[in-house]
Amino acid sequence: MSTAFFPPEPSAELLALPKCNLHTHLEGSVRPATFLELAAQQAISLPFDPLQVSDKLQVDGSEKTLVDYLAKIMVNYQVLKSPAALRRTAFEAAEDAYHDGVIYFELRAGPATHARPGFPIEACVESILAGLQEAEARFGITSRLIVAALRNHAPQTNVELAQIACRYAQQGVAGFDLAGDEAGYPADLHHEAFEIIRDAGLGLTVHAGEASGAEAVRYAVETLHAQRIGHGVHSIESRAVMDLLREKQVLLEICPTSNVHTGAVSSIETHPLKALYDGIPISINDDDPITSRTRASNELMLAHTLFGMSLETIIAIQLTTLEHSFLRETSVKERLKSKVQAFASRE
């Protein structure tokens, strides 16, 4: 059995750093104890012993591909089927981020996956937003939602999802994402949904260059007009795509530990983090913090210890991340930036 890679624990300094996390999935943020409680409340019979819940939901080293990794996340889908469940898990995702020192949090979730008869997509979005707002009121963490479309859903479902996302732009939906099985379902199936988002002025990010090559990144930038790319690690294989990202200043949402767990890179030592950070804006994120047993600060610790990034560089990355966030309110953005700057100039 292979041994799974996990990042180091963060230093007190990196834990205290006011951080920005742009790439976290709700579906990879469900606490195992919450999963069991939600299953019991909804009378869902589990196909496994509750004592095994951590191994069923979290990486244990048996995963070889993105599809294996997604299968662990999909275990959570069965309990995310009620307003209370979505509200609670969104709240807890933001609460966990707050305890990790995150001051700005973009949570992404795929509402079309959780909708069912009597619980439409709109109600899913409202439940998640309610959880984020509750966390903001309680902990002061600024949170926004990115509505995630899944590649394996019908194009018409994603068109409908895009229209709904636009309707909640004033209630906390900041952007739109395309996630899921990249190798099996190309992004071009969903260009119409992206046009709707673009016309409405919401932020656009696309998972690309994770399970497929640099050309998927080019397509996301040139044709879908993505302002940010989820992962994009395979951009490193094309000088032209690197030039494109640099020229257009497209931010790469890098999630190093997740990239090892999904097989996007063969090992953490071969991760191109440093090489990508070459005139191209990057953010460093946790992707699926419960699934991957990590947090934003653990990922920053990894950047510091393994990739030799200085604290100054890591602070600069937080400011870049805020600049490329989908936060539309300039005054909120400035207030958050000043928190990072205050940390940088601390005694």
Indicate which residues carry an active-site annotation.
Answer: 210
Query: 207 or 315, CB closer to Zn ion?
Result: 207
Least CB distance from residue 177 to Zn ion, whole Å? 8
> CB-based burial of residue 37 (10 Å sphere; 0-12 exposed, 13-18 middle, 19+ buried)?
middle
Least CB distance from residue 259 to Zn ion, whole Å? 10
Query: 211 or 303, CB closer to Zn ion?
Result: 211
Query: 147 or 340, CB closer to Zn ion?
Result: 147
d(CA 87, CA 134): 9
Rounded alpha-carbon distances, angstroms, from residue 151 to 113, 163, 186, 261? 12, 17, 7, 20
Least CB distance from residue 220 to Zn ion, whole Å? 14
d(CA 150, CA 67): 13
Please check whether residue 111 is in contact with residue 121, taking contact to mean a CB–CB distance below 8 angstroms.
yes
**Contact footprint for Zn ion (CB under 5 A):** 230, 287
Query: 69 or 98, CB closer to Zn ion?
Result: 69
> CB-based burial of residue 116 (10 Å sphere; 0-12 exposed, 13-18 middle, 19+ buried)?
exposed
Least CB distance from residue 108 to Zn ion, whole Å? 7
End-to-end, the C-alpha distance of the chain in Å comes to: 48
Neighbours of 279 (CB within 10 A): 11
